[in-house]
Amino acid sequence: LIYRVREEDGSLNINLREGSIKFWIKPNWSSGTKGHPFGSRLIEVGEINTRDSSGKGWWSLFLNQDRTSMTLGSQGPNTTRWVKHLQADRLEFEKDQWYEIELSYAPRTTYAYNVVSPNTVQEFLNCHLYIDGRRVASGPGIAPTDLPAREAQLGGFAIGSTLKGSLACEALMDDFQANNFARNIWSTYTLHDNAWAAKFRLDRNMVFLMRRPEMGPDGMHPVEIERRFLGETQWTTLASEFTGDRFVDKDVAAGLIYEYQFRSSLKDTLEIYQNRITVAAQLPPIHNRGNLILIREEGIIDLLGDDYLQFKRDLEGDGWSISDIQAARHAEDDWDANRWEIDRIKKRIQSIVKRFPDGYPHVILNLGHVPIPRSGLSAFDGHFFPTGGTGDHRGAWACDSYYGSLDEDYWKDDALYFHKAYSALQNVPHDGKWDADTLPRSMEIPVGRIDFWGLDSFFQADFTQIEDQDPKSLESFLLRQYLQKNHRYRHGLLEAKEQFTYLNGLSFMPQRSGIFRALNLSASFFGIEEGKAVAGRPLYSKVPIQFGYHEMRAFPAGIQLGWKYNQSTLTYSHTTFDLLKLENEPKVLFHLMFGSWFGDWNLTRENWLRALLATPNYGLISLYFPKFWDLEKMGLGAPFAVAMLEMGDLTDTYRDAPRMLSIMGDPTLRLNTLKPVSGLSISRSGQENRLSWNPHSDPDVRFYVYRKDDSGEWNVLHSSSISQTSYTDLTSSPQNDYMVKTTKLQVTGSGSYHNLSQGIAIQISE
């Protein structure tokens, strides 16, 4: 079988530089039986030439003579040398048995950071071979010079033999797939069928719950499927021992939110074998999202200027009302000053909440170096020794979430722990640092922070423009920069690929919990299609992606890659200093990370968790310890803030969220953005105000028009969205504020909801 490498229109059928290839094979032989001395070909492009340098190049996946090894090799043009990219040995194929083969390959890359000489260069393993979901070989990537020339590719690619028909593999091959992206992490056979997504057929009141139809060695995991309405505590069982890839619930309706739980019938005590998804169809738009309690550092309005005002307009344009609290700057060397200011801020928060009805949604955002509560005694990252020394992380960690907990009885102040190396960790009775190592099971208010204190390395960044060496000048520059990219994202000007890229640099993590979490979130957001959940290196992504999930050995100012338990080799460090070059900026919008030390995000200067938000174009959210962040409801339009309300699952007695967890970045950000209207104008004719705007680039969007009332609230002027690009207000006055938003039915892996863009406001005044 021979197919074109490239079609006449330029589209590729197979990408030799980067991609993944998957197929099934049923051999007519068993490993150990002799085949051709030159082996047998599974895939081949071009022709190998080791005689002279006149060849055009070659690329092949092939078996050796006795079919016990499989090799990926290639040869560039005009050379007699061919390069082995990976080789799997000691393979044991059996005659007439089916095997799934998957090859993932990418260009050769090296560590971008801390490479000071050729001797310190180290390459990533970018080529991987899997058989039945189990990785059997890895190797470095493919260099451009080792790819066949265009002329060699014109001959097409052969499946099961050479292009001339020789060296046949003597096997049935089926379901051949070639993709232009690296291997999905779906195929890890212990996990591939544990992530679920939803699609609705409302004309038949149906929802299809789907998982990847890939088989592990023992088939698909049997699961028990349960359902409840959002807010209920009791589950109803819909199916037991379900082993299919698609389950149909025939009793659903639009506008209602359902939760489905999938528990493995085999290993339901392990978190990895449990999953939950929140689904809905055609949820109505949310015009008023709640109240943002904006705690801003004193003097920050003058420092941020127009960027601060634009940020407040963006919040208002997304449906938030705003309550302001001004706070003194956190004093690094005067904890007593901090404790009294923290107490004052907490009382102000409580007074604001009391002005609203019970249950009204609030979110807290600390803008600037607002005083930082601290709590706890334990070292959540496992660093206990030597006692009181620089390696001891026991004591009071940063705990912004204290601001969002209204249960004052939960927070005690009786603990005693002295710390010689870090005064911030010291915790003694009645010092204003709390005892709790974990957050309350029920968090009332989510908390976020945008704070660039202590990142002095960014004075040297090639994208900063600061006239003096005052740390406050640097902080205000980085704050303005963050608010500017926040604005671009909200307005649909900061696009990124719908993808979760996952890296496990901690091989000792139990049950591959990080992969499990990445898969579930990816399925909830993007569905279960190929290319949405990818094993890779988020910091090295060449295209902008939405989510990067990292689990790594780390320290306060950075991370390390390639570390294995009790084996500190390959420890190339990525620190805040490596973010100073624009070319090194990680192209990731939302970071989810786990590692030592940096989760205590104000213990030292140069904190990695906060530094990822200090680059100019990407890095909007940074979350520590992703296991606890139930972000799935973002697939139905919820902001990041909602995940903090989900951390303390009251039905899981073992799920206690550690006290340092809060959101680094703007907690009101949402997953899906729409471009707002443009060219908005207003005119008055008689007793009418007429608004008009430009046609939208997306033909599927519709519009809502709002008017501000005397209390400052925005009210939508019509019950249903409109399709026309103009609106006439017949009950208007000559002094009115208006706002227009685009809306669209947003389809995700969790169903669908009516999304809203940022509002564009305009005023008429006579």
Average pLDDT over residues 474-490: 98
532 or 479, greater pLDDT: 479
**Are the C-beta atoms of 76 and 57 separated by less than 8 Å?**
yes
Q: How confident is the model at residue 463 (pLDDT cuts 50, 70, 90)?
A: very high
Q: Does residue 512 surpass a pLDDT of 60?
A: no
- Tally of helices (H runs) and strands (E runs) in the chain: 8, 41
User: Burial of 484 by CB count in 10 Å (0-12 exposed, 13-18 middle, 19+ buried)?
Assistant: middle
What is the predicted pLDDT for the residue at 146? Answer: 93
What is the predicted pLDDT for the residue at 535? Answer: 77
Q: Does residue 406 surpass a pLDDT of 80?
A: yes
**Are the C-beta atoms of 432 and 412 separated by less than 8 Å?**
no
What is the predicted pLDDT for the residue at 402? Answer: 97
What is the predicted pLDDT for the residue at 268? Answer: 45
User: Burial of 446 by CB count in 10 Å (0-12 exposed, 13-18 middle, 19+ buried)?
Assistant: buried
**Are the C-beta atoms of 59 and 44 separated by less than 8 Å?**
yes
Residues 218-264 pLDDT 10s: 667 788 999 999 888 899 999 998 988 899 999 999 999 999 998 87
Cβ-based neighbour number of residue 134 at 10 Å: 14
How big, in percent rounded to 5, are the helix, strand and coil portions of the chain? 20, 35, 50
What is the predicted pLDDT for the residue at 133? Answer: 76
224 or 536, greater pLDDT: 224
Q: Does residue 652 surpass a pLDDT of 60?
A: no
Average pLDDT over residues 413-426: 90
Average pLDDT over residues 146-150: 93
Q: How confident is the model at residue 113 (pLDDT cuts 50, 70, 90)?
A: very low
Cα–Cα distance measured from residue 552 to residue 514, given in angstroms and rounded to the nearest whole number = 11
Q: Does residue 274 surpass a pLDDT of 80?
A: no
Quote the pTM value. Answer: 0.83
pLDDT above 70: percentage of residues in the chain: 90
Q: Which helix (H) or strand (E) holds 516?
A: helix 513-526
Cα–Cα distance measured from residue 337 to residue 551, given in angstroms and rounded to the nearest whole number = 36
Q: Three-state DSSP class for 395?
A: coil
Q: How confident is the model at residue 266 (pLDDT cuts 50, 70, 90)?
A: low
Question: Mean pLDDT lowest for which of 11-20, 332-341, 506-515, 752-761?
Answer: 506-515
Structure tokens given for 621: 């959210």
* Nearest Cα to Cα of residue 567 among 514, 505, 625: 505
Q: How confident is the model at residue 155 (pLDDT cuts 50, 70, 90)?
A: very high
Q: Strands 70-75, 125-131: parallel, antiparallel or unpaired by DSSP?
A: unpaired
What is the predicted pLDDT for the residue at 655? Answer: 60
Q: Does residue 215 surpass a pLDDT of 70?
A: no
Q: How confident is the model at residue 663 (pLDDT cuts 50, 70, 90)?
A: very high
**Are the C-beta atoms of 60 and 91 separated by less than 8 Å?**
no
* Nearest Cα to Cα of residue 561 among 542, 548, 574: 574
Q: Does residue 311 surpass a pLDDT of 60?
A: yes
Q: How confident is the model at residue 99 (pLDDT cuts 50, 70, 90)?
A: very high
Average pLDDT over residues 328-356: 97
Query: Could you tell me the domains of the chain?
Result: 2-183 (2.60.120.200), 196-283 (2.60.40.10), 291-486 (no CATH), 495-665 (no CATH), 681-765 (2.60.40.10)
Cβ-based neighbour number of residue 503 at 10 Å: 21
pLDDT, averaged across the chain: 88
Which range has the top average pLDDT, 412-416, 527-531, 664-668? 664-668
**Are the C-beta atoms of 764 and 684 separated by less than 8 Å?**
yes
Report in angstroms the alpha-carbon separations of 150 from 16, 59, 232, 349, 680.
11, 12, 61, 66, 51
Q: Three-state DSSP class for 173?
A: strand
* Nearest Cα to Cα of residue 543 among 179, 110, 180: 180
Cα–Cα distance measured from residue 322 to residue 314, given in angstroms and rounded to the nearest whole number = 11
Q: Does residue 123 surpass a pLDDT of 80?
A: no
Average pLDDT over residues 454-478: 95
Q: How confident is the model at residue 519 (pLDDT cuts 50, 70, 90)?
A: confident
What is the predicted pLDDT for the residue at 564? Answer: 35
Question: Mean pLDDT lowest for which of 192-206, 522-536, 558-572?
Answer: 558-572
Question: Mean pLDDT lowest for which of 154-158, 213-217, 308-312, 706-710?
Answer: 213-217
What is the predicted pLDDT for the residue at 88? Answer: 95
Task: Report phi then psi at 302, rounded to 5.
Answer: -65, -35
Which range has the top average pLDDT, 8-12, 518-522, 634-638? 634-638
Q: How confident is the model at residue 608 (pLDDT cuts 50, 70, 90)?
A: very high
What is the predicted pLDDT for the residue at 188? Answer: 54
Residues 676-689 pLDDT 10s: 999 999 999 888 99
**Are the C-beta atoms of 362 and 294 separated by less than 8 Å?**
no
Cβ-based neighbour number of residue 215 at 10 Å: 16
* Nearest Cα to Cα of residue 672 among 749, 612, 733, 610: 749
Number of residues that this document lists for the chain: 766
**Are the C-beta atoms of 48 and 164 separated by less than 8 Å?**
no
* Nearest Cα to Cα of residue 131 among 51, 50, 47, 69: 69
Average pLDDT over residues 630-651: 83
Residue type at 683 in one-letter notation: S
What is the predicted pLDDT for the residue at 189? Answer: 43
Q: How confident is the model at residue 424 (pLDDT cuts 50, 70, 90)?
A: very high
Residue type at 303 in one-letter notation: L
What is the predicted pLDDT for the residue at 141? Answer: 84
What is the predicted pLDDT for the residue at 562? Answer: 40
Average pLDDT over residues 412-417: 92
What is the predicted pLDDT for the residue at 370? Answer: 98
What is the predicted pLDDT for the residue at 89? Answer: 95
Question: Mean pLDDT lowest for which of 382-391, 408-417, 576-585?
Answer: 382-391
Residues 696-714 pLDDT 10s: 999 999 999 999 998 889 9
* Nearest Cα to Cα of residue 590 among 563, 626, 635: 626
Average pLDDT over residues 388-401: 90
What is the predicted pLDDT for the residue at 345? Answer: 98
393 or 293, greater pLDDT: 293
What is the predicted pLDDT for the residue at 193? Answer: 64
Q: Helix crossing, 471-490 with 306-317: angle to 10°?
A: 30
